[in-house]
Homo-oligomer: A and B are copies of this chain.
Amino acid sequence: MNGAESLVRTLVKGGVNVCFTNPGTSEMHFVAALDKVDGMRCVLGLFEGVVSGAADGYARMTGTPASTLLHLGPGLGNALANLHNAKKAATPIVNIVGEHATYHIKHDAPLTADIEGIAGPVSHWVKTSPDAKSVATDGAAAIAAASAAPGQIATLILPADTAWNDADGVADVPEIAGRGTVSDAAVTEAATALRSGEPTLLLLTGQALYQDPLDLAGGIAAKMGADVMSQGSNARLQRGAGRVPVLRIPYVVEQALDVLKDYKHIILVGASVPVAFFAYPNTPSFLAPEGCKFHHLAGIADDMVDALEQLADAVGAKRSDAMRQAPGRPGRPSGALTPDSIAAALGATMPENAIVSDESVSTGRGFYPLTAGAPPHCWLNNMGGSIGLGMPLATGAAVACPDRKVVCLEGDGSGMYTLQSLWTQAREGLDVTTLIFANHSYNILKGELAKVGAGNPGRKALDMMDLSRPDLDWLMLARGMGVDGARVTSADELNKALDAGFATSGPYVIEVML
């Protein structure tokens, strides 16, 4: 057994069953090992941003890491933006990067680069295997590092000769660092805040937004007259009919300040102290009002279920106390395409158990209310702010959950970053309906330019935010990658296109003309 085979067998034994990849020469032995080992599904992306984003989407839905397989420093570089997003989402990924044979690195061949240096800023754990006999052990350590709570990016660099030389066999995954237990003091402090009678918010993210801990948070809030809210972006929120409704902190600073302005206490459950996405001249970085007290109940790596159970016990709240979202779909909209009519069309049609990959940027800021009473579904956000995640994330989520419909909400500007995702969706027959919000611009930037006080833009500045001249044709782009779809110019057409997409058991693209 060579090093590559020992690694693939170690991955499979350690529960890593999917590899998203765009391999090259240095990774050929790993690829060849796939044929010798059962239990590893290998999914090709035509660009590494698809690969890393899909690994993120997969693990968000399964809770266990997928592996990537990338081609030296530049392949890692192409994956970097979505690894950044995954790191911010605390997603576990076993990120495998090929390297020149150990003895070839010193010759500075064209692809030679400082792979560890590139990996560092987007990884929690980085290791280069020194020889074939270490690969299995290093792979097992990478699984453990990736799986450590709450989820980490573990980058394993694999020189080509460590793949082709003889290995010793398969390795077992060492002990995985689990979630931390919160202190009694933290529970007591949060309970005291809740009993204060002053306006109190439970601010959640991460594990706290799964159904059971949300029930607990909702029960606590209902019992104590507090509110429940989530960060602006969240890795995975379980919402819809019968679940505890959660508002999120708005992106726009003024709106965020307004939403938070009355709170005297914010209890953090996984969440950080809320800060603005960007700084703007003369607006604060911190979003909470002055004098508001923060109470750190649980960090992102802590056991939030246990923390919320303890807090519920402390204040005498039960899951059944929670207010739950009543089922209810909006009527099918008609008329013009607006953010609200799009939201209504989604709310009216979205199938039960849908997974929403949301990179709708400016168009989708108000999608929550009209989809709140739709059948239960998951909502995934971009946690790192690097655009180009939506379609890869949807791709990985669909690989993870073949029995669920994935709905990808994508801006046209963001979508162009990783449009190659559609090809992978076609090859794998993935059940993803993608809405492209074709506003023909980086619309968000027009607002941002004003907010940073950069004055009235002229022609040259506006051109940098404008995706017209020429207009993109998303149906052509999708068909060029084997994916069919529809273009819609009214809410009625959108309803019908969503019906068609949701009736298709494969990828479908809807270009929503704004």
- Chain A residues at the B interface, C-beta cutoff of 8 Å: 21, 23-26, 28-29, 31-32, 34-35, 42, 44, 46-47, 49, 73-75, 77-78, 80-81, 84-85, 88, 100-101, 103-104, 107-111, 113-114, 117-118, 120-122, 160-161, 164, 233, 272-273, 275-279, 281, 285-286, 382-386, 388, 413, 416-417, 419-420, 423, 426-427, 444-445, 448-449, 451-455, 457-461, 463-467, 469-477, 479-482
Which residues on B sit within 8 Å (CB–CB) of A448? Answer: 24-25, 28
Shortest CB distance A101–B (Å) = 4
Q: CB-nearest residue of chain B relative to A413?
A: B46
Alpha-carbon gap, A174 to B282, bound state (A) = 35
Can you name 20 extra interface pairs (CB under 8 A) apart from A73-B84, A111-B384, A470-B482? A25-B278, A31-B449, A31-B461, A32-B449, A35-B460, A44-B463, A44-B464, A49-B78, A74-B81, A78-B386, A100-B278, A107-B286, A110-B382, A113-B122, A117-B120, A118-B118, A164-B452, A473-B482, A476-B480, A480-B480
Which residues on B sit within 8 Å (CB–CB) of A118? Answer: 80, 118, 121
Which residues on B sit within 8 Å (CB–CB) of A454? Answer: 28-29, 31-32, 164
Q: Are A277 and B416 in contact (CB under 8 A)?
A: no
Q: Are B477 and A281 in contact (CB under 8 A)?
A: no
Which residues on B sit within 8 Å (CB–CB) of A81? Answer: 74-75, 77-78
Which residues on B sit within 8 Å (CB–CB) of A455? Answer: 32
Shortest CB distance A314–B (Å) = 30
Shortest CB distance A445–B (Å) = 7
Alpha-carbon gap, A80 to B473, bound state (A) = 28
Q: Known contacts A32-B455, A463-B42, A476-B476: does B281 contact A164 (CB below 8 Å)?
A: yes
Across the interface, A73 reaches (CB within 8 A) one of B34, B121, B279, B426, namely B121
Q: Are B457 and A32 in contact (CB under 8 A)?
A: yes
Q: Are B28 and A449 in contact (CB under 8 A)?
A: yes
Q: Are B110 and A121 in contact (CB under 8 A)?
A: no
Q: Which 5 A-B pairs have the closest CB atoms?
A: A470-B482, A74-B386, A77-B80, A35-B458, A476-B480
> How many copies of this chain does the complex contain?
2
Alpha-carbon gap, A233 to B111, bound state (A) = 12
Alpha-carbon gap, A420 to B388, bound state (A) = 13
Q: Are A461 and B84 in contact (CB under 8 A)?
A: no
Across the interface, A426 reaches (CB within 8 A) one of B42, B75, B420, B470, namely B470
List, sorted by A's number, 27 A–B pairs whose CB atoms are closer than 8 Å. Answer: A24-B448, A25-B452, A28-B445, A28-B448, A28-B452, A31-B457, A32-B461, A35-B461, A44-B464, A46-B417, A74-B85, A74-B384, A77-B80, A100-B278, A101-B278, A103-B279, A104-B275, A104-B278, A107-B276, A110-B384, A111-B385, A114-B120, A118-B118, A161-B281, A427-B469, A473-B480, A475-B480
Across the interface, A464 reaches (CB within 8 A) one of B42, B161, B386, B467, namely B42
Shortest CB distance A461–B (Å) = 5
Across the interface, A423 reaches (CB within 8 A) one of B279, B461, B472, namely B472
Alpha-carbon gap, A64 to B167, bound state (A) = 50
Residue among A28, A467, A477 with most chain B CB within 10 A: A28
Which residues on B sit within 8 Å (CB–CB) of A47? Answer: 388, 416-417
Q: CB-nearest residue of chain B relative to A85?
A: B74
Q: Are A110 and B78 in contact (CB under 8 A)?
A: no
Which residues on B sit within 8 Å (CB–CB) of A233? Answer: 110
Which residues on B sit within 8 Å (CB–CB) of A426? Answer: 470
Q: Are B470 and A477 in contact (CB under 8 A)?
A: no
Residue among A34, A110, A118, A474 with most chain B CB within 10 A: A110
Shortest CB distance A44–B (Å) = 5
Alpha-carbon gap, A400 to B328, bound state (A) = 58
Which residues on B sit within 8 Å (CB–CB) of A161? Answer: 279, 281
Which residues on B sit within 8 Å (CB–CB) of A275? Answer: 104, 107-109
Q: Known contacts A21-B464, A464-B31, A476-B479: does B104 contact A453 (CB below 8 Å)?
A: no
Which residues on B sit within 8 Å (CB–CB) of A32? Answer: 449, 454-455, 457, 461
Shortest CB distance A142–B (Å) = 21
Alpha-carbon gap, A205 to B122, bound state (A) = 35
Q: CB-nearest residue of chain B relative to A463?
A: B44
Which residues on B sit within 8 Å (CB–CB) of A88? Answer: 110
Which residues on B sit within 8 Å (CB–CB) of A34? Answer: 458, 460-461, 464
Alpha-carbon gap, A512 to B273, bound state (A) = 55
Which residues on B sit within 8 Å (CB–CB) of A482? Answer: 470-473
Q: Known contacts A74-B384, A113-B121, A480-B480: does B452 contact A29 (CB below 8 Å)?
A: yes
